[in-house]
Every structure is written in structure tokens, then in C-alpha cells.
Amino acid sequence: MADSSLAGLPWKQLDMKATEVFCALAAACAAFAQPVPRPAPRPSTPAGELAKAADEFRTVTRNLGLRPDSPATVRTTNISGPRWHGRLFHNIRNNSFDAVPHEVTQRGGQRGLLRRNQFGFNASGPLPFKVLSQPTFLTVTFEGMREKAGRADLRTIPTALERTGDWSRVVDQAGRPLPIFDPASTAPNPAFDAARPVTASNLQFNRAPFPGNIIPRQQLDPRAQQLLRHYPAPNADAGPFDRNNFFAFNPEVNSANGVILRADQPLTNRHRLGFHLNYSNGQDGVAAIFNTPANPSSVSRDRRNRAGTLEHVFTVSPRTLNTATISASSDQYLNRPELDESGKPFGSYRFQPYLSMGRSYPNARNIRNVFAATNSLGTRRGRHHYRVIGQLIREQINTLYPQYPEGRFQFSANLTSLPGIVNTGHAFASFLLGGPEYAERSIAISPSYFRRSRYYFGLRDQIELRSGLTVSLALNIEGGTPRVERYNRQSTISLSAINPVNGLPGAMTIAAHDGNGRAFQPTVWKPEPSASLAWNLLGDTKSVLRAGYSRSYSPLPMYFSQWGTQAFNGNPTWYSQNPQLEPAIWLNRGFPPLQRPFPDLRPESANETTADLAEPRGLQPTYQSASLSLERELPGAMLLTIGCGHQTGRNLFLSNSGSNPNHIPPSALVHRDRLNSESFKRTLRPFPHFQRFDVYSSWPEGRYQRDAAQLRLEKRTSNGLSLAAYYEFSKQMDNYSGPSGVQDFSNRQNEWSLTSSNAPHRVSLTYLYELPFGGNRALWNYQDWRRHLVDGWSVSGATSVASGEPVALRPQFNNTGGIIDALNVNPVPGADPHVANPGPNRWFNPAAFVQPPDFTLGAASRTHPSLRMPGDQNHDLSLNKRIGLSAERSIEFTAVGLNFLNLANWTDPDTTIGTLNAPNVNAGRIIGSRGGRVIQLGLRFSF
Amino acid sequence: MTAALAFFALLAQPAPRQPAPRQPAPRQPTLKVPFRLESDAKVDRASVAVRINGKAVRLQRLLGPSDGLVLLVISDLTGDIAAADAARQALTAALAPLPPTVFTSLLRAQDGLTALTNPSSNRDALRTAFDTIPVTGYAGLLDTLETAGALADALSHKAAVRTAILYITDSLISNYRTDYTNPVVNSSDAGDLSRRFPEGLIREKMAQLQRAIRARHTPLFILHLRYQTDRLNDAYQTGLLDLATATAGDAAFCRTIADVPDNLNALLTAAQALHFAEVEAPGSKAEGDIAIDAGGVSVKHRAHYTRPRSR
């Protein structure tokens, strides 16, 4: 006891003088003689109470099993330890809950189609038995989904008359009769003046129109007529004229079953194992546009996804942690072919602007396996926090992926036009005659087994330079081996090898043959530096200035494709020698026989084809970014962030529409109509013995720049309301993007324009409001049964609004002899492209643009610098009601309204610009809108 | 002589304390209402008035900053070594000047609450224990909150001390063993709307905890070392703030490592300034609203209570 009684004093302190002793004795006697007053209760001292609390702490923690010295029977039932928790849930959607989609009502539909059930459970907790000395914790999640949803599609297909060859009622984009010419009547014009451009008054070839604009039945190709049996009849009339005349609203059927399993096994206090498994099977359905073998929509596929991770965490010391991870994943996709009556997939027949028949990749089987081993070591030393990461990744692609096993046939208006005169002829008329301009066929002899490895080593140091200033420096070294094929079945074009046919550079070369390595690109190592800082401005912790810079590279992706195996899996192509005069092949004769069977490893085996070309230098996309932001805490639990960023990228991988290493420069347009002759054009190509190269989204020529400023406001809960608002203004430019491609491959600077997907203004708002009634709230604070009705209501919302993307205008015709893939339009001097009140009838002024003259480039940019497509907005709302059944059991009811305001977003306007004489009357118009409110109801039981 | 002195000395001792008369069992359970003054003003028992469900109740006792405080420091560090080290240094610096009337104890939240040091004014023991805590494992704040509250309540029921809980955490919502993130199970399910509002599970857990902590009276303070702005962690951290403020405590979120010392000091200062008003709980109602008038001084206080089912 620490009170002031004598008992607590050492006896030697009582060693007093005799007089003092006497006085003390006297006082004691006097005190003893007097009645003893009853002592008042002494107030307890903080120290004493604290000691009592400490004793209680020991007792309670021991009894609750919270101490190492707790009895074993109690410790194992530590009440705060992991227990089994989980949930059961079911979400349903049905079109009877929803608004009818706008795109359906506009075509006269009365109801949508949506049946969806999503269900599953989750449970997590310790295993009831021990596998090792420490308990094992398990989390199991299952989710299943069954869905049948209608998808709307508005397209243009030929009328019944057109199919019979009767084009007497067919009009062009301006509403004027469209003449169809008979290719069989073609003859050189003896009066042609080669010194003057080809015009209607100076024709190079004479060709007679079909009498009455009707193709005689005997000239219709029998194979084409046979194919047309699978082409449906028009069923709509959205217009203008006979366009937008086929409306499809067919179901898409999807299903999925998936499991996530997580296990966590502590080994000792310093070692821990974790295991994670994902398993998902399903069907990715695609709604048919029409229900015949000629259906042109994508192919439905079966899917199997597996992923597993094993992780070991080793706490070396309280300041040093090592994490080692091994992971493997496998994604398998199997396309579901739809066969015609002959038991084969339907070929692909394309005749723009009409909807095509048939589809690509009808038969496909793809597997991607990824194996990764990662080790991460983090340690703290003084003011430094070091992190070292090493990673090894092995990727495998096993693919059998013929794109057009039954052929692709591309038709153009040329064959049925008046040669050299635009706005004559029609691609579908050329189809009726059975004369494609281009044809190809995919011959997959064997699957391809691609492999590659990637390596990653990173070092990061986070330094507290001084109070309030933290700097991070990092250097990553990323390397990767190029793609190889397990059986060396790879080929490409060597741009330096001499072709034996003509002695010019450019010849087929084979992996692991003739001194070649197994790959066509080098192993690449790249340093990726980055730096960032966080600084409390002027020592004020309410303000943080952040700045960052990084430079990174992106390895060449491995796609599901057999591109690069051309010598083993053939992809023969047939081009017309003059599309105005003759087709590439005739439909009714089929493909010409192959000169040699595959594999064909000769250097000249890819001559006269579209040859697969791999970029040989191993150039990789390079990204740089810099950012600056200022965060400021505001009163009311608010945080305001203002920031800006600058990003650039170069050597971005482009596809065939963005890059063509065998292009003919636009300066060759001076040759005008001679460019229609393949024999002439080949003299202009860098590699004349190849038609063009297929670079398969892997040619490093792209460049972009993005500048953006952001404003973000967050507010934590106050009176039940929390929200986050975000606004971004951005401008992104590039030299490749767009719906059609690049006009001038040889002058990238001319292609520098707004990125086709750049929406400059983006606003988003998310919010949560706990409704102010129920228990412990301002309103209806009932204590009786009514509390179950009014308690636990909340509303969540998410709103996003984005301005439109740049308008990308295209001319109706492209009369450039086939050397310009994507032609731009010409601006009309003095004409304002903007209109006062943009609306569906007139979104922009089409008279401000015009089709460029024949054999000239368009002067306008690829994307317009100020015209924008309609913006997009979406407002989602979720209403939740929680009913607490007990401390740990509850039921939650959820109603989610996607686009709950049922607002429609306009579809894009028609951006095709006609000629001065025959303008596209639909240009600048919007013919519909899309969207519609969707409701999902959900019930979740949590325990 | 010595024997005589001893005899008289014994006589001079106060009479042995009589056992305190057994207090009649209180008819009404005691309700402890923690509150913090929003200014540096001082209050005494006479200036504090407490109303439960709008009715004034008798103030039995008022504990203030001069009374003992038991601060349970709970480590919930799972992965951010840099932030954890900053927290260690900040805690060491912040505990040193605390008066001996503040007893501190260290617990750990991973795999169930574990007591590492007993409450005492010996800061070295806590610092040493804190230094050796491994920064790994799964987050445990949400799982241990109720137990920590029960433990702290037990201490203040046993002794006339104020109690407070201080969590030091770097946990993100994805660090929990229990699944609150509702991860995508079927990646191909493009029509999935169930994750459009992904914070539902977190909010449900927070609602459960809100309900549970109404039966506890110990204020909760949370020092979060990693402020995050993604939607899930925003919901998580908002929930933590709600939990803390509902108990008259507070939560601070560090946006940089430099924020750690200041935020920690602010929370410790707030914990030291706590008052506990002990009042008679109204008899019949299992739940109620609390209002405090501290002589016109603005206060932050626990606004609701639920009577515990059992202690």
C-alpha cells in the first residue's frame, strides 16, 4: 500500500531523541484517550484507480484469451479472432421492371428483352481442424449468372428488287438515280485524251449502263444467288431513302459459373502462406443480327479461366519483409461455329455500305497460359525505405485461329461503275455479278504454340529528406525475349534478303532456318526510371504538393493470332489487276488452286500477297508522364485536389489502318487513273512484289500527347452525406487514331490531330446519403416494431457526364487508285461548320465540307479540331434497405437503377460527306438515340 | 525501549478502515458518456448537464483530464513498412511527455486481439514491444473493434478511470481476410451491375459495427497511415471516421508520412482531454439519444447509446 501510514516507514527512521519520544508518547496517549472520529471516505487517487484498471486488464485479457499466458482452452476461442462470416445473395433483372430501350421504341418495339439471374454465396473463416500447427483460414466465393438479353441493331441491307438485279429504284446519297454499268460492255475509249484527267467527257473506258438499270437475270452470278438465300429481307424504314432498313432485336445468351478460393495458413509468427484460386466457366454469347448461317455478328464462344497464386510472406524483422509469389493462369476460348447446309462455316462477303454476310474466325481455339514468379523485399533503414522486386514471367499462347477458312470476298463499286467516275456502280451490284475486288483465304494446317519470357527487376528508395518532404526514386529494368514458336513454325519478311524472283530486297525468311535464330526480334532490356515527391508546403500538413515523373516501355503483346506463320499456315490473297475492269476472282469459279501446298518455305512464297511482317528492331512503345497536384484539406472534412498532367508516347504499336510499310507515297497521285492498274502501281511500291504488309497491330510508328487538368473534391460523411466529385479537362493529340485510318503514311506530322476518343470534359459524381430517419436519426426514431420499417435506408448514386468525341468526317468516295486507304474531306472556305443549336436534324453544317477531287488528298484534319459528337451522360442510383436481424446477421435489399432517369443519348451523326453535285442528304443528321432505364433487384443475407 | 515504541506506534496508527458500507445495488445501470470540449475551457461537475432522450439525468461522477486515463494502443500494421516505421517514431516521441496518469498498453489486431503489454506508465515497455511487431498479416481493425471496446469498458467499470482506444493502422479494405471488396468472380460477365456500387459490403459491415459500438462507451481514435481515394477505400475510411466520431473519438488519415506525427499528437491530445460523465441510464429503453450541455461550451460527445446485453 502506498498510503502515508507509518507502517510503510522503515523502523530506523523512528530513531528519535528522548524528548521527542516523550512528546510523541504523550500525544499518542492523549489521542488514544480521546474518542476516535470516524474517518471520512478518502477520495481514490488516479494512481490507485489506474492500478485497479491495470489489474482488471490482466484479468480480462486472460479470461478472454487475449494473452499468450491465457489458458489454452480460452486462447483458442479468442473472441476477437476470425470466425465464419459470409453472405448469400440473389440479383434479378427482368424487362418488366425496365423502361423499353429507346432504340427499340423508335423502331416500333413494345418491349425489351432481359432475363437475368445472378446468385451466389461467400463464406470465410477458420477450418475446424488444423492442417499444421496454426489454424487455416478459408474464403470461398461462388457466383453464377444466367442471362438472356435483347440487343438492337439497325443496319442497311439490299432491297428485294436489288437482289434480283433491278436497280431502277436505287438512288444515291443525294436521292438521285444510281446508274449501274455492265462490266461486260467495257471497251477502251478511242477518243480518250491521256493528257487530261478522266472525266465523264474524257473517259478512258467506255461502259454501257444496264438497260433500265436492271441487271439481266442471266448475268447474275449463280453462287451469289445461292448465298442470298441466307440474307434476310428489309424490315424497317428509318431512311433516308432505303437506308437503315433492317432492324434486328435478337437475344444474347450468356452464362457463367465461377469460384474464388482463398486459403491463408500462418506457419509461424514470421512465416505465412497464402493460396488463391480463381475458376470460372462460361459462355460469352453474341446476339445474332440474323438467324441464318450468313449471320455477320461475332461468334459466340465458350470460356474457361483458371488462375492460382501461392504466396509466402516472411517477416525477416519488423523493418524487413520478404514476399515470394508463384502464380499461374490459363484462359481458354473456344468459338462455337455455325455451319451452313454443307457442314462448313459461311464465307465472309463484304459489300459496303450494306451489311456483310458471314463472319471471321468461325472456328477458333485459343489458350493463353501465364506463369510468374515474383520476389519482393522491402526494408527500412534510417530515413530510407528500400524495395527490391524481381519477377520472371513465362507466357504461352496456343492458338488455332483461321480468320477466313471459307474465304473473304471484298466487293467494290468499281466493277459496276463507269470507270473513273465516282457515284456510279455499287458494291452489291458487283456482288450480284460475282466479281470481288479482293479475296483471301486462311489455311491453318496446324496450331501455333508461341512462347516468350519477360524479366523485371526494380529498385525503389523512398526517402524522407526532411520533415514534410518525401522523395521516391525508382529504377526498373525490364527485359523480354521475343516470341518464338515451339516447333519453329514462324516466318516473316526479311526486308534485306534478296527475293529470287526479281532480285529486289524483301523475301520470306523462316525461323531457325538458314542461320536464322528462333525469333525475328532481339531480346530487349529497357531502363524505366521514375521519381516523385510529396511535400507539405511550408510545413502545413493540410497542404500536400505532389509531383511525379516516369518513363516506361511496353513490350510487344502476344495476340491470339497465327500471324507470323505465313509460310506454314497459308493466307493466300488475290487482288484485282484493275478493280475497274476485272475482279480478283469469280465467285462461281471459286478460289484458284494453290500453286504449292503448305508449308511453303521458299523465299518467294509470299510474293504477290499481303505478307506478314514483324518489326525487326524490337522497338517498343515509350511512355513518359509528368504530373503535379496540390491537395488541400478544407473545413467540413473536405479534401480538394487540383492537378495537371502531361503524357507523351512514341513508337506506339499501330495496326494496318495506321501503318503501311509498303505504301505508295501520295505524291504518286499525279499519276491519277494509271494507279488503277496493278502492274503500274507495283512499280511505285518500295517492295513491289508484295501487295502490302500485315503488321498486325505491331508496327511502332504511333505518337501521342495528352495534357490534362483535374479537380477533385471529396467529402467524408457529414449528416449522413458523403460525396466525391471529379472534373477533368483534357486534350489529346496523336498521329494514328480514327475510325478509318491514316491518310498519309509518309508524313506523320500531317496526321497530327485530336485523338478520336478524346472527350475534353468529363465530370463524375458519386454520393451516399444515409436517409435521416429511423433509429438514432432525426426523424421517426421509433423504438417499436416500426423501426424495422424505417431503419437502415440509404441512397447511393453515380453520375457521369462527358462531352463528345471529335467528329471524324469521311468523303463518300475514294477515287485514289487504291493508294490512299483513308481519305480526308476538304473544308469549304468561309463556311462555318458549326450550327447555332445542334440537334438531331442538323448536328453540324455538312456544307462546310466537300468531297476532295479525284486523286487528291483531303485538306481537313483526320479529326475535326472543334466539332464534337454528342456527349454522353449516365445517372445510376441504388436504394438500399438494411434489416439487422442480430448483431452479426442482416438482410439487405437493393434496388439499382441504371440510367434511372431513363435519359437517351444520341447516336452519332452521319459523318459521310458527298460530292458537290451529289451531297449526302443525311450528313450531319442523327437518326436515333440509345439507352433506357434498367432495374436490378437484389437480396443479400449476411452472417 | 524499542518494543515500547513499537507498541505506541501501533497505537498511533489509524484504526483499520472499516469496510465501506455496502452500497445498495443501483437501481439504474450507470451510463458513461464520454465527451470532448471543442475549446480549452474547463468544466466542473456543476456545469455539466446530461439529457437522455430529452430528460435530464443525475450526474453521478465526472472524470476529467486530471483523472487517470488508460489508453489501449492497438497496432494494425499489415504491409507498409515505411508508414509503420514513421508511426513507431511518432509514437515514441508522443508517449514520452505523457503524464504518469496516462497508462498505456499495447495490443495487436492481427489474427485476433492480442495483449502485448499491460497498462502502465512505463513507455519503454510499449516502445520496445511496438518495435518488434511484424508488419504483416491481414488487417484486423474491423474484427477486433468490439472486443477492444468490451475490454476498455471493463476497465472503466472496474476503476474510476477514463479509457480510450487508439488504433494505428495501415490497413486497406483489400487487406482483410474477410471479403469486403466483392471481387469479380466471372470476368466475362459484362452485364454485371452488382458491382456498380461496390461499397455495399463495406457499408453493411460498418452498419453492423455502428450498432455494436453503441453498447460501448470507450471512445475510439484511429490513426490511419495511408489515405486512399479509390471508391472502396473511400467507403472504408469514411466508415472508420463515422465509427470514431460516433464514440466521441476521432480519426485522422495521413496523406504523407510527414502527416503521421502531427496526426498522432492531435489524437493523443484529444484522448487526454476526454471527460467521462457517469449518469444513471434510464431504465426502460434499450436505446436512446444523449445530449450534453457543458455550460455553453461546445462539446463532441457520444450521441446515442444502446444498453449492453450483458457485461
Contact A254 B160 (CB under 8 A): no
A727 in helix, strand or coil?
strand
Sequence ranges of the domains in chain B? 26-64+278-311, 69-175+199-272
User: Which range in A571-575, A719-723, A860-864, B286-290 is most confidently predicted, on average pLDDT?
Assistant: A860-864
Contact A714 B211 (CB under 8 A): no
A458 in helix, strand or coil?
strand
> Which of 3.40.50.410, 2.160.10.10, 3.40.50.620, 2.40.50.100 is the CATH number of B69-175+199-272?
3.40.50.410
Contact A139 B133 (CB under 8 A): no
In this structure, of A120-124, A134-138, A403-407, the range with the lowest mean pLDDT score is: A134-138
Q: How many Å lie between the alpha carbon of A670 and the closest alpha carbon of chain B?
A: 50
Query: What are the residues whose beta carbons fall under 8 Å from the beta carbon of B213, sequence distance 6 or more?
Result: B145, B146, B149, B220, B243, B246, B247
Give, for A48, the enclosing helix (H) or strand (E). helix A46-63
Q: What is the pLDDT of residue B9?
A: 46
Q: What is the mean pLDDT of residues A47-56?
A: 92
**In whole angstroms, what is the distance from residue A800 CA to residue A795 CA?**
17
Q: Which residues of A touch B112 (CB under 8 A)?
A: 65-66, 78, 80-82
Which of A246, A267, A221 minimizes the C-alpha distance to A431?
Answer: A221
φ/ψ bin of A350: left (φ > 0), alpha (ψ from -120 to 50), beta (otherwise): beta
**In whole angstroms, what is the distance from residue A886 CA to residue A115 CA?**
34
What's the pLDDT band for A30 if we cut at 50, 70, 90? very low
Q: Which residues of A touch B66 (CB under 8 A)?
A: 46
pLDDT at B179 over 80: yes
ipTM of this predicted structure: 0.88
Q: What is the pLDDT of residue A81?
A: 61
Is some CB atom of chain B closer than 8 A to the CB atom of A464?
yes
CA B90, distance to chain mean position in Å, is 19
The alpha-helical segments, DSSP class H, found in chain B are: 2-12, 81-95, 123-131, 141-158, 200-213, 231-246, 259-272
**In whole angstroms, what is the distance from residue A114 CA to residue A130 CA?**
47
With beta carbons less than 8 A apart as the criterion, state whether A203 and A418 touch. Answer: yes
With beta carbons less than 8 A apart as the criterion, state whether A810 and A852 touch. Answer: no
Q: What is the pLDDT of residue A74?
A: 59
Q: Return the residue matching grid coordinates 452479426.
A: A888
Q: How many Å lie between the alpha carbon of B235 and the closest alpha carbon of chain A?
A: 9
Q: Which residues of B touch A264 (CB under 8 A)?
A: 138, 177
Q: Which residues numbered 773-832 in A keep a CB inside 8 Å of some CB on B?
A: 775-776, 781, 783, 792, 794, 796, 798
Contact A145 B303 (CB under 8 A): no
Question: What would the pLDDT profile of A763-789 be if each residue is shown by its tens digit?
Answer: 999 999 989 887 767 788 777 788 788
Contact A54 B120 (CB under 8 A): yes
Is some CB atom of chain A closer than 8 A to the CB atom of B65?
no
Q: What is the pLDDT of residue A931?
A: 92
Q: What is the mean pLDDT of residues B106-117?
A: 92
Q: What is the mean pLDDT of residues A52-80?
A: 79
With CA atoms as reference, the chain A residue closest to B110 would be: A81
What's the pLDDT band for B28 if we cut at 50, 70, 90? low
Contact A305 B161 (CB under 8 A): no
Q: What is the pLDDT of residue A818?
A: 93
Is some CB atom of chain A closer than 8 A to the CB atom of B81?
yes
Question: What would the pLDDT profile of B130-159 be if each residue is shown by its tens digit?
Answer: 998 888 889 999 999 999 999 999 999 999
pLDDT at B309 over 90: no
With CA atoms as reference, the chain B residue closest to A16 would be: B5
pLDDT at A50 over 70: yes
With CA atoms as reference, the chain B residue closest to A125 would be: B178
Contact B289 A776 (CB under 8 A): yes
Give, for A22, the enclosing helix (H) or strand (E). helix A18-33
With CA atoms as reference, the chain A residue closest to B157 would be: A53
Pick A464's closest partner by Cβ from B107, B155, B257.
Answer: B257
Is some CB atom of chain A closer than 8 A to the CB atom of B3?
no
Is some CB atom of chain B closer than 8 A to the CB atom of A889?
no
Q: What is the pLDDT of residue A538?
A: 76
Residues pairing with A408 in the sheet: A348, A440
pLDDT at B272 over 80: yes
Is some CB atom of chain B closer than 8 A to the CB atom of A513?
no
**Residues written for chain B:** 311
Is some CB atom of chain A closer than 8 A to the CB atom of B154?
yes
Is some CB atom of chain A closer than 8 A to the CB atom of B208?
yes
Give, for B75, the enclosing helix (H) or strand (E). strand B69-76
Contact A876 B196 (CB under 8 A): yes
Contact A254 B144 (CB under 8 A): no
Q: What is the pLDDT of residue B55?
A: 87
Question: What would the pLDDT profile of A35-45 be if each residue is shown by its tens digit?
Answer: 444 444 445 67
Contact A91 B200 (CB under 8 A): no
Q: How many Å lie between the alpha carbon of A267 and the closest alpha carbon of chain B?
A: 12
**In whole angstroms, what is the distance from residue A593 CA to residue A584 CA?**
14
In the DSSP assignment, the letter for residue A753 is E
Which of A694, A523, A553, A557 minimizes the C-alpha distance to A620?
Answer: A553
Q: Which residues of A touch B14 (CB under 8 A)?
A: 5, 39
Q: What is the pLDDT of residue B294?
A: 86
Question: What would the pLDDT profile of A522-575 be if each residue is shown by its tens digit?
Answer: 999 999 999 999 998 877 888 999 999 999 999 989 999 999 999 999 889 999
Contact B151 A124 (CB under 8 A): no
Q: How many CB atoms lie within 10 A of CB A22?
A: 11
Distances (CA, A) of B141 to A744, A751, B85, B111, B138: 60, 55, 19, 10, 10
With CA atoms as reference, the chain B residue closest to A884 would be: B208
Contact A7 B143 (CB under 8 A): no
Query: What are the residues whose beta carbons fall under 8 Å from the beta carbon of A363, sequence distance 6 or more?
Result: A335, A337, A345, A400, A402, A405
Contact B191 A116 (CB under 8 A): yes
Question: What would the pLDDT profile of A383-414 be if each residue is shown by its tens digit?
Answer: 899 999 999 999 999 999 999 999 999 999 99
With beta carbons less than 8 A apart as the criterion, state whether A770 and B238 touch. Answer: no
Q: List strand residue ranges (DSSP E) for A411-519, in order.
A: 438-440, 448-466, 469-480, 484-485, 491-498, 505-510
Contact A887 B211 (CB under 8 A): yes
